């Protein structure tokens, strides 16, 4: 049933295209990946820190896609769907085997598979690292359950192997050793919070020392990759206090998006500095929920396990170490939301246990939630069809208040970066429209791009192309002259094109 529901929701991706965001670097223009699976390609993947990451298994999975499917983008998307469905099934298997509670486990699996915030991780080929690393994460959970029951060295080595494979797919799994300690609290109940002692904790930490060592090694490799790739340059413009404020606000935003997953987009602009009321509310919220889960730890241990699961798995991407220009990203919820799903599902399970007459209304609420998630996901999935639909959604969500979200404390340099990002979004959308010969729409997008950044020669050059195709040679010449003035190094090329236009104009 889980596989069928996932297949029905995501089947349209068979017709989806590669996107201009990251897909060229990962697949479309990557000379190593385009050769398919080769020995040289495997050695390159093991040593590569391209795109600011060390994830050799992710590279190899893309190579296998090219080997099997060529450049048929739909099948590359379906590979992501396959891993997503497998992740949901493995999650349900782990929870149901560890707790014996089938229905809450099934609800967690359905929410995981259908939540709109997970669309980005599945419908974007470049996010293969998300679904692939989570596949190994789910195998870690299930193999750890096996170790819990057998307590053999071989079963612990299997846990280490799956973690290593996961870390070779995406570094976000560096928190796994801590997550396994949380599982020791709930659902495995190896560590009691009511009579907690360090003497009971130390053996549980010692058995995971190899896991911690693997995680530490990948932390170092990732830092070197991100720093070398320039991904951390943007974060250096914010103070530590700014980044801490964004971290607290991000937690509350992610929590809200679990219940109200609307206005989703591929990029959420970082405001530079959050207003004090937003930061204050978020700090109170985070500490309030944390204290609530501690208060209920003995009676409802799944609350503190789920909440800490959510917080701990978010830590690598919460923005304390700022990577990139975003404030939050839907893809970052792919694993962390499992903690919120657990809190929600087992919370409902407890309510039904205590108040039997609430069963039918709660079942109705759950069914309504699942149906609404399916419909919202189906609608949002369409925005990932191609570059044009993705950018249209981005601008629909953020254009009207893109600059408004920036506080007066934001520097002019940062404001300029945001304007340039907007301009680039419009330019890319226009170029996509030009491919389809939609000249009127493309022209409107180019004018928008110029309104945010009039110094990008590509917008003027594209306008000239439109006028040239319409036979307006004088206008095309003026626009190319403008483009040439903005790109002096390309002047010889522009001079050649301008000369051709003048010849055409004379013939006319």
Report pLDDT digits (tens) over 243-274: 899 999 999 999 999 999 999 998 887 777 88
Q: Which segment of 118-122, 269-273, 475-479 scores lowest on mean pLDDT?
A: 269-273
Give the per-residue pLDDT at 495.
Answer: 82
Name the pLDDT band for 10 (thresholds 50, 70, 90).
Answer: very high
- Residue 460 has which token pair? 């003027």
CATH class for domain 398-507? mainly alpha
In order of 245, 246, 247, 313, the CA distances from 241 in angstroms are: 6, 9, 10, 21
Give the per-residue pLDDT at 322.
Answer: 67
Within 10 Å of residue 444's Cβ, how many Cβ atoms?
15
Within 10 Å of residue 13's Cβ, how many Cβ atoms?
24
For residues 338-364, average pLDDT:
93
Name the pLDDT band for 200 (thresholds 50, 70, 90).
Answer: confident
Q: What pTM, to 2 d.p., does this model score? A: 0.85
pLDDT at residue 207 greater than cutoff 90? yes
Q: Count of alpha carbons within 13 Å of 110, Cβ hemisphere only? A: 19
Q: Where are the alpha helices (DSSP H) in 100-239?
A: 102-114, 119-123, 128-150, 153-167, 176-185, 198-206, 209-228
Express as a percent the part of the chain with pLDDT over 70.
93
Q: Count of alpha carbons within 13 Å of 497, Cβ hemisphere only? A: 21
Residues facing residue 326 across a β-bridge: 269
3 state SS of 458:
helix
Residues contacting 36, CB < 8 A, separation 6+: 63, 64, 66, 67
Within 10 Å of residue 389's Cβ, how many Cβ atoms?
17
- Domains in the chain: boundaries: 2-384, 398-507
Residue 93: is it exposed, middle or buried by C-beta count within 10 angstroms (0-12/13-18/19+)? middle
3-state helix, strand, coil in the chain (%, to 5): 80, 0, 20
Instruction: Considering only residues 103 and 508, tell me which one the structure prediction assigns the higher pLDDT.
Output: 103
Instruction: Considering only residues 66 and 424, tell me which one the structure prediction assigns the higher pLDDT.
Output: 66
| Residue pair 97/307 in contact by the 8 Å Cβ criterion | no
Instruction: Give CA angle at 78 (258, 76), nearest 5°.
Output: 115
């Amino acid at each position: 049933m889980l596989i069928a529901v996932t297949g029905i929701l995501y089947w349209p991706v068979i017709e989806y295209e590669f996107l201009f965001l990251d897909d060229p670097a990962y697949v479309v223009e990557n000379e190593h990946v385009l050769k398919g699976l080769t020995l040289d390609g495997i050695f390159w993947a093991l040593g590569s820190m391209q795109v600011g990451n060390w994830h050799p298994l992710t590279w190899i999975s893309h190579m296998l896609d090219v080997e099997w499917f060529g450049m048929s983008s739909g099948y590359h998307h379906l590979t992501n769907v396959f891993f997503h469905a497998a992740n949901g099934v493995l999650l349900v298997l782990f929870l149901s085997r560890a707790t014996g509670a089938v229905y809450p486990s099934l609800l967690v699996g359905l929410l995981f598979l259908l939540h709109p915030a997970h669309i980005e991780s599945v419908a974007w080929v470049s996010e293969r690292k998300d679904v692939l690393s989570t596949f190994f994460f789910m195998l870690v959970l299930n193999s750890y359950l096996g170790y819990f029951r057998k307590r053999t060295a071989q079963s612990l080595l299997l846990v280490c192997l799956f973690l290593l494979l996961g870390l070779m797919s995406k570094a976000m799994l560096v928190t796994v050793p801590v997550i396994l300690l949380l599982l020791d609290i709930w659902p495995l109940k190896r560590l009691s919070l009511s009579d907690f002692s360090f003497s009971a904790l130390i053996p549980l930490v010692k058995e995971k020392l190899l896991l911690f060592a693997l995680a530490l090694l990948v932390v170092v490799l990732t830092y070197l990759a991100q720093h070398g790739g320039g991904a951390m340059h943007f974060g250096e413009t914010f103070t530590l206090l700014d980044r801490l404020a964004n971290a607290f606000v991000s937690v509350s935003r992610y929590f809200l998006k679990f219940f109200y997953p609307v206005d989703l987009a591929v990029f959420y602009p970082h405001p530079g500095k959050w207003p004090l009321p937003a930061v204050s509310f978020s700090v109170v919220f985070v500490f309030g929920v944390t204290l609530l889960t501690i208060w209920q730890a003995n009676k409802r241990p799944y609350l503190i396990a789920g909440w800490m699961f959510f917080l701990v798995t978010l830590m690598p991407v919460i923005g304390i170490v700022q990577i990139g220009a975003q404030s939050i990203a839907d893809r970052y919820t792919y694993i962390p939301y499992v903690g919120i799903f657990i809190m929600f599902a087992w919370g409902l399970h407890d309510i039904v246990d205590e108040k039997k007459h609430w069963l039918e209304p709660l079942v109705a609420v759950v069914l309504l939630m699942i149906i609404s998630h399916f419909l919202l996901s189906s609608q949002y999935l369409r925005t990932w069809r191609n570059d044009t639909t993705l950018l249209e959604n981005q601008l629909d969500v953020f254009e009207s208040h893109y600059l408004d979200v920036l506080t007066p404390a934001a520097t002019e340099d940062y404001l300029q970066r945001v304007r340039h990002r907007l301009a680039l979004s419009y330019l890319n959308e226009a170029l996509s429209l030009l491919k389809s010969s939609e000249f009127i729409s493309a022209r409107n997008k180019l004018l928008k791009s110029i309104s945010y950044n009039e110094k990008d020669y590509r917008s003027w050059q594209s306008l000239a192309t439109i006028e040239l195709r319409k036979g307006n040679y004088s206008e095309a010449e003026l626009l190319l002259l403008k483009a040439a003035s903005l790109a002096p190094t390309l002047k010889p090329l522009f001079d050649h094109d301008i000369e051709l236009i003048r010849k055409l104009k004379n013939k006319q």
